[in-house]
């Protein structure tokens, strides 16, 4: 029996291929608590790399299968997360003892309030942690089902397909790129954290400006 680490992209892709992409992206896109520990960006990009035929070797994964599974997992996961939040309501989020859930819920509320449904659901897909809690939070906060379905589908497809294609294009153009998957994953993680750092910096600046004494 092959031991599979669900938090390790290489292990998942080796064991389950495109179906592993579907299952993990589904969970990461809306299953509270569990989704926080699953790879998202760091699974899609390497999966795209493994779809490329390079150095005379056949691709280890089929691009169309990975893209389809990524699309289905992201859209279906977001929809299930929304339904959990809609039927569980705010108590579902407030009862959680997870600090990540509480912080993510507050961040989701600010995002929805600041940008509106469309922009928030698209932007939120590209932010780790936030995309896991955003969909249940949208359901609990009463975002209309039609608007949610439209924009979470747009965001899910943009996010999942762009990362898979980016990995595929890199794998097709750079020799032996799979030898550098770990450094590439580290870069993807760093880039995905930039929106969180930008938001934290903005909030600190707003608090500092609010605490600054005003001249009479």
What percentage of residues in the chain have a pLDDT greater than 70? 75
The pair of three-digit structure tokens given for residue 99, joined into one six-digit string? 């600090």
Q: What does the DSSP 8-state code read for residue 57?
A: P
Q: Which of 10-14, 72-76, 192-196 has the lowest mean pLDDT?
A: 192-196
Tens of pLDDT, residues 85-133: 998 877 767 776 777 777 878 888 888 888 899 999 999 998 888 888 9
Determine the 3-state secondary structure of 4 from DSSP.
coil
- Sequence-distant (6+) residues with CB within 8 A of 216 are none
- Please give the pLDDT value at position 109: 87
Say which range, 121-125, 133-137, 209-213, has the weakest mean pLDDT. Answer: 209-213
What the block records as the tokens of 53 is 């035929």
Average pLDDT, the chain: 82
Q: Is the pLDDT of residue 2 over 60?
A: no
- Asked whether 143 and 207 are in contact (CB, 8 A), the reply is no
User: Residues near 172 by Cβ (< 8 Å), separated by ≥ 6?
Assistant: 52, 53, 54
Which residues have CB under 8 Å from 60's CB, separation 6+?
A: 50, 51
pLDDT at 195: 63
CA–CA gap between residue 157 and residue 152 (Å, rounded): 8
- Determine the Cα–Cα distance for residues 147 and 145; give it in Å rounded to an integer: 6
Round to whole Å and give the CA distance between 75 and 81: 10
pLDDT at site 138: 93
Global pTM value:
0.80
How far is Cα 81 from Cα 133, in angstroms, rounded to an integer?
8
């Amino acid at each position: 029996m092959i031991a599979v680490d669900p938090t390790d992209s290489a292990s998942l892709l080796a064991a389950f291929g495109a179906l592993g992409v579907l299952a993990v992206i589904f969970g990461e896109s809306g299953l509270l608590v569990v989704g926080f520990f699953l790879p998202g960006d760091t699974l899609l990009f390497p999966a795209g790399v493994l779809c490329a035929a390079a150095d005379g070797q056949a691709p280890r994964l089929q691009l169309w299968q990975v893209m389809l599974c990524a699309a289905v997992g992201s859209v279906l996961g977001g929809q299930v997360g929304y339904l959990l939040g809609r039927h569980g309501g705010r108590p579902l989020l407030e009862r959680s003892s997870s600090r990540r859930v509480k912080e993510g819920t507050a961040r989701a509320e600010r995002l929805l309030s600041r940008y509106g449904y469309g922009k928030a659901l698209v932007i939120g897909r590209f932010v780790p942690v936030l995309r896991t809690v955003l969909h249940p939070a949208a359901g609990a906060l009463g975002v209309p089902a039609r608007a949610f379905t439209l924009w979470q589908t747009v965001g899910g497809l943009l996010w999942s397909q762009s990362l898979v294609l980016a990995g595929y294009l890199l794998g097709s153009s750079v020799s032996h790129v799979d030898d550098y998957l770990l450094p590439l994953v580290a870069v993807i993680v760093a880039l995905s954290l930039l929106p969180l750092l930008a938001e934290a910096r903005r909030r600190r600046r707003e608090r500092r400006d609010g605490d600054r004494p005003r001249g009479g």
